Structure 1
Amino acid sequence: MIGWLGRDARRRRTEKQAYRWVGKMIADPASNEAGLRRWIGDDEERARIYNRAWQGAAKAGALGGVVYGDARVRAAHRSIEHTRKVPYLWLTTVTVGLMLLGIALTFGISLLFGEHPVAGSSLNGDRSYATATGEVRTLALADGSSIVLDTHSAVDIHFDGETRKVTLTRGRARFAVAHEAERPFIVSARDATVTARGTVFDVDTFQGVRIALIEGAVDVRGPGVVQAVLRLFPGQQVWFNPAVRNGTPAATRARPSDAQWVNGMKTFDDVPAHEVIAEANRYSERQIVFEDPTMGDAEVFLDLHIRNTVDVARNLAAYLHLAVDESHPGQIVLRRPK
């Protein structure tokens, strides 16, 4: 029995890896082909599982042109023979334009498609900034701090000689705070506040208020709390449930993937598909929906560019063996193949 369980676990792990490779090859075959070859190696089972996963993607309509910014990748697979007669799939690529401009993650600043950095010493005083749906903006503040403002998000900024205050009125933001011993950096979101002097952390208001620390340390005070202060350390998060008005919840371990939103590419590891869709739909007026809502309960194991809803829909369809229906205005419907 243990042997069978072990084989089942290994097979499930291989299937997850195969679907991840399919997603990578759909997204960027030129960069991932060598890695796919190494992963398959001489393993006949891996080759068989990968081929089946790719065929599922083809049936779901997930192949063809995949758009990233101004670039279009068209991939065509053809079967070849390995030196030990192990069949696997070879990718050829025709790429037009540039796929990614580059990623600068130092202090949380990311320059990617859809981002518009704003810099200048004039940010002292009172300012307000907001992003539209699909827009990600980097604000370079006068004190050397920076804010990455996510899609459909807004902040109010007030700097004076004693304090640096930012209010996140909606959405999500990454704060990279320059150290000033005499002038704390205070972020408010609804009734929660974060006090930092030199650190990097995320705040979002999607469901209540979630604060996740990436570097340094911060002091967090929740709604309805008079004196209790929670100190977070790197890798920790705290979530204030709007239904609970008193007390400070305990810090928990943040998922590493939760911090990946700044560069657009996220790893979803055994995450319900409806969570993936909710994340991607924030970046587009065109919404991904399941024809049957219960399909969203299935867990997925994928790397996805969350700012590209077409890519997300096609990769989910490939993984879940669904069809992609783009005929509905304002929607991309995932349904069972007819």
Structure 2
Amino acid sequence: MQYFNQLILSSIQYSASHIYFIPNTPPAIKTLGRIEFLQLKNCSTIEIEKIIESVLTEEAYNLCKSKNYFTTTLNFNQEYQLNIHIIRSISQIKMVIQINKKTSYSLSELNIPIELLKTISSASKGLIIVTGAPHHNKDITINALLDEINNNQKKHVLIFSNDNAFHKTSNKSIISSYNLSQVNFEFIKNQSADIVILGCINSTELIHIANNCIAIGTLVIALVDAVSVTYAIEKIISLFPHRQSGLNTLSYHLLGIMLQVFITSKIHNNSLYLYDFIKCNSKVQNLIQEDKLQQINSSNIKNKINELIEQNKLTYHDVQIILSNLSNTQFFYDTHYDIF
């Protein structure tokens, strides 16, 4: 199983779309439309059979052995799915694996805090901040939230983003997507939107529009590129003309802030999302009002990371930069080199 996982991870790093296991040849990958044999030893029919047995459940494996053609889909990790195709004949067995990057997740798959959904469901107006490092896939989280809202609530949702990942087919909700450059308060007002999602709030104009939306009874969900809760709040406040006006506005209108981190373990061959939702209760409101932002921390993520390290599911090397960012309350800048 470890050999299989390492092979999948290596193939992902080479942007491979398929892996081929054919008897008496090395494993091959398909990348950029070309098939290349890997510099590994030849696989025998018995070795391919053992790989299949290690990957499938006992029930699926027994079913596979009884069929000439068998196909199934497995979740490799939170980011990738594997479509497995197995072809049997009397003399040999072949396996083709298609690697697909997942584009859709449920709230339960991601373990998104239920408090966030409750806040979105119960609040008629206010501001919710969704934050995380630029490359930590916040669009995945927003898509999961949109699916949950779309399937269960009658809401009018307007999305303004430069990311084309937010196009949704309306179900119970009416969901419309626009480029971020098209955001306009009068348009939002005329549309009578219940929820407005701002894909990247990074200008005084967007803050002004967000405030106006909240004033007319709209719930605003704003995405902010930041490596910690404190830094996200600082970035929002920096967009106001005066610091105190930013503190006052956030202390009054902020409903909660959710931090997301995406962790990839090169040693344990897995990846996962971790979340922390800080509800803006009276204590948090006072800390913002008194400009004590350093005391608003995301201890849940740090505790969960330490727990996973103790369980040997992560190593300190996997999360060193993330822990440093979460603990840093003095300097407000992104540590971009954690992408490598």
Q: Which has the higher strand share?
A: 1
TM-score by length of 2: 0.26
TM-score by length of 1: 0.26
Higher radius of gyration, 1 or 2: 2
Q: Which has the higher helix share?
A: 2
